[in-house]
Every structure is written in C-alpha cells, then in structure tokens.
Amino acid sequence: MKPTVVVIAPGMMGSGVGRRLADNGIEVRTSLAGRSEASKARAEAAGMRDASDEQIAACDIILSIVPPGDALGLAERLAPVLRAAPRKPVYVDCNAVNPATVLRIARVVQETGAAFVDGGIIGG
C-alpha cells in the first residue's frame, strides 16, 4: 500500500514535489487554510487535496517545505494534533534552517511521539 503524504506548503517548491508524488500514484494532501488563490490553484494543478490539521496528522509522512522563518511555527502548529493522533506520521523538515532551529523543530515533533527527519531540498 502506498503512503499518504502531506506537503506543506503548496508554494512553488512544495507544489512541484507534490506533483511528482501524485504523478507516481501517491495520495498527496496539503493545508490550504489562509493560502492565496495562486497557491490553491498550484495545489489543485499538482493533484494535492486540502486537509485539516487532524487529517494531516493521520497521514503517513509530512513534508515541511516552507520559508525557513515559518518552519518552527509549522511544527508548533501541528504539535497538538500530532500528539493526539493514534498513529504517528514521520515528520520531515525539508527547510534551509540553521542547526539550532533544526534541533528546536526536532524537539517539538519528537515530544508528540512522531518521528523526525532532517531533510533538505535544492531546487531550481
């Protein structure tokens, strides 16, 4: 069975990753709350479906692909629903953040019981 993957957020990089996953038969979800019409259109074109925070926490893998300044805030926003989720996803931080911030994000995620992976994306 293929995993369900969340890509946050559906910006230029996130929607590109989402499209690749969807093209390969992966169910891809995202959070469109507060997003611009352009981001919503990119998500739809990439085959990404909107999901609530609770639905996000129920997925298999969460890919955090946000501006570096938003990375810790996203982990903190999702922490309560991750903590409450009966089955924990793997949380992958794909952002260009400094090592101290990675450790802070890891602590927030791991305190929920979810696994944390420090990743990276280089795009063009």
Q: State pLDDT tens for residues 71-95.
A: 999 999 999 999 999 999 999 999 9
Domain ranges of the chain: 4-118
**Res 40: pLDDT:** 94
Q: Which pTM value belongs to this model?
A: 0.95
Using the predicted structure, report yes or no on whether residue 44 has a pLDDT greater than 90.
yes
Superfamily of segment(s) 4-118: NAD(P)-binding Rossmann-like Domain (3.40.50.720)
Count CA atoms closer than 13 A to 13's CA, side-chain side: 16
> pLDDT tier at 123 (50, 70, 90 boundaries)?
confident
- Is residue 32 helix, strand or coil? coil
Q: How far apart are CA 63 and CA 72, in angstroms?
A: 13
Using the predicted structure, report yes or no on whether residue 46 has a pLDDT greater than 70.
yes
> pLDDT tier at 124 (50, 70, 90 boundaries)?
low
Average pLDDT over residues 45-70: 97
**Res 16: pLDDT:** 95
Of 119, 96, 118, the residue nearest 108 (C-alpha): 118
Average pLDDT over residues 27-48: 95
**Res 122: pLDDT:** 82
Average pLDDT, the chain: 96
Average pLDDT over residues 2-29: 96
Q: How far apart are CA 63 and CA 98, in angstroms?
A: 18
Alpha helices in 1-124 (DSSP H): 12-23, 37-45, 53-57, 71-84, 99-110
